Homo-oligomer: A and B are copies of this chain.
């Protein structure tokens, strides 16, 4: 129901005549359309064409899948202009105009949207093309490709019907491959294809090029909402777009002979970041052949060797021109570009440019290199690296020593870095299922296709036997930071038998392989990995980040080892040291269980006394690892039943150890059972009921601190009371903690400085709401945004998967609120807590220790509301450092 005579411009032309879209934004033209306009404007050789806006796509869906009124009129005007500029005519029997039709949204979605080439071919224009190209075979080849592609993509005719018809023709002509079929055969094939088309669509193949165009535009719009496109946006977190634009561009033919070709390239290496033009091309092929990974292409570096009798310097010239264009593009965009080009009879045409996706490694190297090259400055460099991409630099890599003795089965292309070890899965579904069952699997495919998205996302690594560095598998894997080795041709995959054969050996689903995305090696069995370190460009980026950020970064660590590792990654303290894990080992768990089973305070104290030395030792270890830095220790948090055995056999064993009746244990387990343990007797509520638990833990902390101080280790414990909901709770427990600290100090006859802070987690909505009262009792606040999210949404983290996928699919939530902080709701409570807390106590130290502390978008929020620090898992510390810098630099979201 779009308005008639709407004044809104729906089509933007680009070409020599004029370029409408120079200053339009990519949300209207899509990334591809915007860049075609921009390249045209800076004088690069771009075949002319026009772009239908994303707004038309939105209107299409809004009006129940009808093309906006007036759109075809505007398209007709633009076709006329294009015909004039090209000197060709749609459907002409002398020199016909052919166009490609491509999708292009504001965010890049490789392989997701449908493309149609050679549009404009019909029974008449095929004759025209024969005339204008002088190549009958070429003309009919284009025609049969159009019928096939149009039938498949626009009309939904299964590709295999066309395949079958082709096989018949090949048999008739004794041809083994497509190219063996002569012009005559292709003529027959066109006839056969038209019959297939009619049989499966109930109508003749449309001869009117404008009708073809109309249908193609609609097909592109439709492809925006296919399940796989929706799924891709879900995985990538792409939201809020209007839809896809449609780019109609005059054809350049990469398949019009041995002096033609097509390719894709990156201005720098997208995997390593090396400043070297990097790409692949196929001679006598159309663009989709490269991306689809069906034929293994040649490296662009080999292009200068390409020559024909007529053009002995063909490859050299093209290569030189490409390098010039590369420099123009990098200087224009100030960033790495991912381009598509076609060479038609030795003439180079640019079909597309976009910001090059890159691995985290490459992002860091490129950012640092470009600063060195003075292309960008330090702050641009910091903003250029998606903080999450650092995950890749923090992945383990294979131990060089272990690799020396590993059995290398094959070497493919190092398509996406990382070290992946897993068992073999042969279909996407299998990869998904086995991952859910807890297995680490490698997805092994001849080549991947968009249907494999889910499986690729599940697998720890992807291994393909065909396809290059720019194949579907490679591009998608790099985007996600998933390890990928592509085109390992030595491997034969038998999907049906669920086996691979290589070097005479067979590996099945039960076997484990190790693949190295850094060098493409495929190795038998499990190869050991080593931990990453911060050095080189990575260290430089971290140095720059530290220079700009104001947020401090702490880590969540429960052991000296984790503490040490986090310190290596730049952690400035421990924001959350959980104490419950400390009670699970050996004798400790027995004492813990004795404590829980005790029915009076005296017995509880006796059991706690056994735990005290262990706890003290734990804390001495952690204080030593973090010497000079603050360590926030959370008192016991989980409900007591988590420490008791629930199985009959384990209960019997425990009964034997403790010398009690199993019925007693069973009774206590059943007494402690809760309908909603998340909302039950846990956190500080335990200390209200059993103050002796708090006394034991605080005693251990203080004794450990004093022991350290006596050994000249500067211990800085901060005692954190969990799950506080009222000021009175904290008042009472703080008093007990302070009293205990003083008692221990007296007993130990310690006269030095202790300065132990007592604070609380803000993780109950009521605590945030009454933060002004609670602050009176607290030296610090630490937002526990995991529980705060559970309670603010009323979502149980353990159960949320029963409905969260529906919410994400229906866009009722923009992301999983446990992954990225819900700034509107939960964030409102966080901000309220900070403001109210500081109203009472301006010097109040405030941090966050939920898992959101390592999520870049959440870090930016934390910076905005004025937290002093974020605390995250050790491996996310560098990510948080970068995100904190980006926040300080006013970056809104990390990544593009």
User: Do residues B732 and A679 form an inter-chain contact, with CB atoms below 8 A?
Assistant: no
- We find that the number of chain A residues with CB closer than 8 angstroms to chain B is 48
User: Do residues A765 and B787 form an inter-chain contact, with CB atoms below 8 A?
Assistant: no
User: Do residues B802 and A681 form an inter-chain contact, with CB atoms below 8 A?
Assistant: yes
In the bound complex, how far is the Cα of B765 from the Cα of A763, in angstroms?
Answer: 13
Q: Does A87 interact with chain B (Cβ within 8 Å)? A: no
User: Do residues A798 and B674 form an inter-chain contact, with CB atoms below 8 A?
Assistant: yes
Interface bits A496-524 vs B (CB < 8 Å: 1, else 0): 00000000000000000000000000000
In the bound complex, how far is the Cα of B800 from the Cα of A725, in angstroms?
Answer: 14
Interface residues of A in 244-259 (CB under 8 A from B): none
User: Do residues A796 and B676 form an inter-chain contact, with CB atoms below 8 A?
Assistant: yes
Q: Does A790 interact with chain B (Cβ within 8 Å)? A: yes
Residue of A675, A812, A828 with most partner-chain B CB within 10 A: A812
Q: Does A576 interact with chain B (Cβ within 8 Å)? A: no
Q: Does A678 interact with chain B (Cβ within 8 Å)? A: yes
Interface bits A743-764 vs B (CB < 8 Å: 1, else 0): 0000000000000000000011
Q: Does A890 interact with chain B (Cβ within 8 Å)? A: no
User: Do residues A794 and B674 form an inter-chain contact, with CB atoms below 8 A?
Assistant: no
Q: Does A723 interact with chain B (Cβ within 8 Å)? A: yes
In the bound complex, how far is the Cα of B763 from the Cα of A818, in angstroms?
Answer: 20
User: Do residues A796 and B674 form an inter-chain contact, with CB atoms below 8 A?
Assistant: yes
Name which residue of chain B comes closest to A827, CB basis: B769
Interface residues of A in 767-792 (CB under 8 A from B): 769-770, 773, 787, 790-792
A793 surroundings in chain B (CB, below 8 A): 725, 764, 766
Q: Does A616 interact with chain B (Cβ within 8 Å)? A: no
A208 surroundings in chain B (CB, below 8 A): none
Q: Does A564 interact with chain B (Cβ within 8 Å)? A: no
Interface residues of A in 14-43 (CB under 8 A from B): none
Residue of A676, A732, A825, A826 with most partner-chain B CB within 10 A: A676
Residue of A674, A802, A810 with most partner-chain B CB within 10 A: A802
User: Do residues A675 and B796 form an inter-chain contact, with CB atoms below 8 A?
Assistant: yes
Q: Does A8 interact with chain B (Cβ within 8 Å)? A: no
Task: Quote the shortest CB–CB distance from A839 to chain B (angstroms).
Answer: 15
Q: Does A377 interact with chain B (Cβ within 8 Å)? A: no
A725 surroundings in chain B (CB, below 8 A): 793-795, 825
User: Do residues A795 and B679 form an inter-chain contact, with CB atoms below 8 A?
Assistant: yes
A829 surroundings in chain B (CB, below 8 A): 765, 769
A787 surroundings in chain B (CB, below 8 A): 794
In the bound complex, how far is the Cα of B688 from the Cα of A479, in angstroms?
Answer: 31
Q: Does A728 interact with chain B (Cβ within 8 Å)? A: yes
A688 surroundings in chain B (CB, below 8 A): 803, 806-807, 810, 812
Q: Does A843 interact with chain B (Cβ within 8 Å)? A: no
A826 surroundings in chain B (CB, below 8 A): 766
Q: Does A171 interact with chain B (Cβ within 8 Å)? A: no
User: Do residues A794 and B675 form an inter-chain contact, with CB atoms below 8 A?
Assistant: no
Interface bits A592-617 vs B (CB < 8 Å: 1, else 0): 00000000000000000000000000
User: Do residues A676 and B806 form an inter-chain contact, with CB atoms below 8 A?
Assistant: no
Given contacts A726-B813, A728-B811, A828-B769, contact A679 B794 (CB under 8 A): yes
User: Do residues A675 and B799 form an inter-chain contact, with CB atoms below 8 A?
Assistant: yes
In the bound complex, how far is the Cα of B732 from the Cα of A810, in angstroms?
Answer: 9
User: Do residues A812 and B676 form an inter-chain contact, with CB atoms below 8 A?
Assistant: no
Task: Quote the shortest CB–CB distance from A675 to chain B (angstroms).
Answer: 4
User: Do residues A803 and B685 form an inter-chain contact, with CB atoms below 8 A?
Assistant: yes
Q: Does A729 interact with chain B (Cβ within 8 Å)? A: yes
Given contacts A688-B803, A791-B794, contact A812 B679 (CB under 8 A): no
User: Do residues A803 and B689 form an inter-chain contact, with CB atoms below 8 A?
Assistant: yes
Name which residue of chain B comes closest to A802, CB basis: B681
A794 surroundings in chain B (CB, below 8 A): 678-679, 723, 725, 763-766, 787, 791
Given contacts A676-B798, A679-B676, A799-B676, contact A792 B811 (CB under 8 A): no
In the bound complex, how far is the Cα of B765 from the Cα of A826, in angstroms?
Answer: 9
Given contacts A732-B810, A765-B792, contact A678 B681 (CB under 8 A): no
Task: Quote the shortest CB–CB distance from A829 to chain B (angstroms).
Answer: 7
Given contacts A674-B799, A675-B799, A794-B791, contact A825 B680 (CB under 8 A): no
Q: Across the A-B interface, give the 5 residue pairs with the lowest CB-CB distance, nearest first.
A: A679-B796, A676-B796, A766-B825, A675-B798, A680-B799
Binding site for B on A (CB under 8 A): 674-681, 685, 688-689, 723, 725-726, 728-729, 732, 763-766, 769-770, 773, 787, 790-796, 798-799, 802-803, 806-807, 810-813, 822, 824-826, 828-829
What are 20 inter-chain pairs, A to B, with CB distance below 8 A?
A674-B799, A675-B677, A675-B799, A676-B677, A676-B679, A676-B796, A679-B679, A679-B794, A679-B799, A685-B803, A688-B803, A688-B806, A688-B807, A689-B803, A726-B812, A728-B813, A766-B793, A766-B826, A770-B825, A791-B791
Q: A674-B798, A680-B802, A769-B829 are in contact. List 16 more A-B contacts (CB 8 A).
A: A675-B677, A675-B796, A678-B794, A679-B796, A679-B799, A681-B803, A689-B802, A689-B803, A689-B806, A729-B812, A732-B810, A765-B825, A766-B792, A769-B792, A787-B794, A791-B792
